[in-house]
């Protein structure tokens, strides 16, 4: 059963979590001086509108009409009640998922890519650079750049560039250039940290070019709140007063923030982050200032971190392999407003296959972390004999991740 908003039902303002946090965020620090960074420090990389959003305390931020024009290509996205999954589990819980996999790139990432491309275009930027790991973010920015006629260059971690060509092909189909990183050492397998350095150096060195980041930062989570805002309306259409728990997988925190933040002020609504046990930032990391990249070139952010030199094992949910976390998500976990759990990838794929066989759709491995937690919550409701309402974000599809399913189906997937 699906609960659709009308095509003009996209939220016209983003929900800003910053003024609603238990306490104000600590500021980012300059990597050299360790002093709080100001707008001027960021201006070579970002347009002023995004720098302002990064620190804005306005409770709501208007979505520009030119952004809505593009979001309308796939939004509002469906909210679906997973009745066949419920039946299979024999749970009295009602499980809803918000389907962000219907975007052109196949995930939630374009929600912020479009906004970032728009603000850059509006301030005269001609060209964007970014880094990408498996390619989900690079593909989303390539799509968004094409919509506003911006050039786009994506630095892709060399091992992924060579072993996972399909998202590179997507980027090129949308007109972007995609090159392996590091650019100056063809023998290096590369890393996300090195790719960030390449993309930042490119943007800093050219007046017509800015840099774009796909998660972690406050303005990225702001843009993603369309997910949770739509889901609120759709749950009301489904006759639900409120969810008991809102679940998102968590790498940098953007899909989780997108679905969970709009429920921040709702009493009795649990917010739940799900991360891989092999990169368990929120559940085993320390809260501290740390760099966003491996090389230590970015500002220091106040967040849960495994250390910027942490090398996570090569799990299939590449989008969750990040040493740090969004400062907003970190603050919510630290204050107790948000919970966090970790799941091993074999249990995650078990839930993914259960979902595929009951609901049909094959989820991305990242998304399957949220499904794992939703299934566990539904089983807990069964145990307790309680009708709970579970909402999770179906952040992306698995059509480009079938090699991982092949490994699981053959019994070759292990927990690291």
Q: Does 403 sit near a second copy (CB under 8 A)? A: yes
Q: How many CB atoms lie within 10 A of CB 397?
A: 19
Q: How far is Cα 302 from Cα 158, in angstroms, rounded to an integer? A: 29
Q: Does 172 sit near a second copy (CB under 8 A)? A: yes
Residues 6 or more apart whose Cβ sits within 8 Å of residue 97: 79, 80, 82, 374, 391, 392, 393, 394
Residue 43 vs 73, nearer CB to a second copy: 73
CA atoms within 13 A on the CB side of 403: 9
Q: How far is Cα 108 from Cα 120, in angstroms, rounded to an integer? A: 20
| Helix (H) or strand (E) run with residue 276 in it | strand 270-276
Q: Does 84 sit near a second copy (CB under 8 A)? A: yes
Least CB distance to a second copy at residue 62 (A): 21
Size of the site for a second copy (CB under 8 A): 42
Q: Does 6 sit near a second copy (CB under 8 A)? A: yes
Q: How far is Cα 276 from Cα 373, in angstroms, rounded to an integer? A: 11
Among positions 163, 173, 314, 335, the unique one binding a second copy when judged by CB under 8 A: 173
Residue 49 vs 144, nearer CB to a second copy: 144
Per CB under 8 A, the segment of 196-204, 225-233, 285-293, 398-406 that binds a second copy is 398-406
Residues β-bridged to residue 131: 155
CA angle, residues 302, 305, 310, in degrees to nearest 5: 140
Q: Does 64 sit near a second copy (CB under 8 A)? A: no
Q: Does 87 sit near a second copy (CB under 8 A)? A: no
Residue 284 vs 409, nearer CB to a second copy: 409
Q: Does 347 sit near a second copy (CB under 8 A)? A: no
CA atoms within 13 A on the CB side of 277: 11
Per CB under 8 A, the segment of 125-133, 163-171, 227-235, 269-277 that binds a second copy is 163-171
Per CB under 8 A, the segment of 31-39, 45-53, 101-109, 272-280 that binds a second copy is 101-109
Q: Does 102 sit near a second copy (CB under 8 A)? A: yes
Residue 356 vs 380, nearer CB to a second copy: 356
Of 246, 288, 274, the closest CA to residue 342 belongs to: 274
Q: Does 55 sit near a second copy (CB under 8 A)? A: no
The helix/strand/coil state of 190 is: coil
Least CB distance to a second copy at residue 338 (A): 31
Among positions 74, 287, 289, 310, the unique one binding a second copy when judged by CB under 8 A: 74
Residue 146 vs 264, nearer CB to a second copy: 146
Per CB under 8 A, the segment of 38-46, 169-177, 279-287, 299-307 that binds a second copy is 169-177
Binding map of a second copy across residues 378-397, x = CB under 8 A, - = no contact: -------------------x
Among positions 122, 361, 380, 382, the unique one binding a second copy when judged by CB under 8 A: 361
Q: How far is Cα 322 from Cα 310, in angstroms, rounded to an integer? A: 9
Residues 6 or more apart whose Cβ sits within 8 Å of residue 278: 312, 313, 315, 344, 345, 415, 416
Least CB distance to a second copy at residue 15 (A): 23
Q: Does 236 sit near a second copy (CB under 8 A)? A: no
- Answer whether 199's CB lies under 8 Å from 229's CB: no
φ/ψ (deg, to 5) at 307: 100, 135
Residues 6 or more apart whose Cβ sits within 8 Å of residue 237: 3, 5, 79
Residue 178 vs 222, nearer CB to a second copy: 178
Q: Does 206 sit near a second copy (CB under 8 A)? A: no
Q: How far is Cα 149 from Cα 144, in angstroms, rounded to an integer? A: 9
| DSSP one-letter string for 73-134 | TTPSPPEEE-HHHHHHHT-SSEEEEEEGGGSTTSBSTHHHHHHHHHHHHHTT--EEEEEESS
Q: Does 353 sit near a second copy (CB under 8 A)? A: yes
**Residues in touch with a second copy (CB under 8 A):** 1-4, 6-7, 72-74, 80, 84, 102-104, 106, 110, 143, 146-147, 165-166, 169-170, 172-175, 353, 356-357, 359-362, 397, 399-400, 402-403, 405-406, 409
């Amino acid at each position: 059963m699906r609960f659709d908003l009308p095509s003009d039902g996209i939220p016209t303002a983003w929900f800003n979590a910053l003024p609603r946090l238990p306490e104000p965020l600590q500021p980012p620090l300059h990597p050299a001086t360790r002093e709080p960074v100001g707008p001027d420090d960021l201006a070579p990389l970002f347009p002023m509108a995004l720098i302002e959003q990064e620190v804005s305390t306005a409770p709501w931020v208007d979505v520009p009409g030119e952004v809505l024009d593009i979001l309308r290509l796939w939004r509002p996205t469906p909210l679906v009640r997973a009745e066949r999954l419920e039946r299979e589990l024999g749970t009295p819980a009602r499980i809803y998922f918000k389907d962000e996999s219907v975007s052109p790139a196949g995930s939630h990432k374009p929600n912020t890519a479009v906004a970032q491309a728009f603000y850059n275009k509006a301030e005269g930027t001609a060209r964007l650079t970014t880094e990408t790991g498996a390619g989900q973010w690079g593909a989303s920015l390539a799509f968004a750049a094409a919509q506003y006629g911006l050039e786009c260059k994506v630095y892709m971690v060399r091992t992924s560039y060579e072993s996972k060509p399909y998202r590179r092909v997507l980027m090129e189909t949308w007109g972007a250039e995609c090159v392996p990183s590091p650019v100056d050492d063809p023998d290096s397998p590369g890393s996300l940290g090195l790719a960030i350095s390449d993309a930042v150096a490119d943007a800093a060195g050219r007046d017509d070019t800015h840099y774009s980041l796909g998660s972690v930062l406050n303005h990225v989570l702001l843009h993603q709140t369309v997910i949770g805002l739509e889901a609120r309306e759709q749950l009301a259409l489904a006759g639900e007063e409120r969810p008991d728990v809102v679940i998102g997988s968590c790498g940098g925190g953007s899909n989780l923030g997108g679905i969970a933040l709009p429920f921040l002020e709702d009493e009795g609504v649990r917010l739940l982050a799900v991360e891989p046990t092999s990169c368990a930032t929120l559940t085993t990391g320390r809260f501290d200032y740390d760099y966003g990249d491996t090389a230590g070139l970015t500002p220091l952010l106040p967040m849960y971190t495994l250390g910027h030199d942490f090398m996570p094992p090569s799990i299939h949910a590449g989008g969750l392999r990040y040493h740090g976390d969004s400062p907003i998500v970190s603050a919510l976990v630290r204050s107790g407003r948000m919970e966090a759990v970790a799941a091993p990838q074999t249990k995650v794929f078990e839930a993914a296959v259960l979902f595929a066989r009951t609901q049909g759709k094959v989820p991305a491995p990242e998304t399957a972390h949220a499904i794992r937690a939703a299934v566990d919550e539904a089983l807990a409701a069964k145990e307790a004999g309680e009708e709970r309402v579970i909402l999770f974000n179906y952040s992306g599809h698995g059509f480009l991740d079938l090699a991982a399913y092949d490994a699981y189906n053959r019994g070759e997937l292990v927990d690291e």
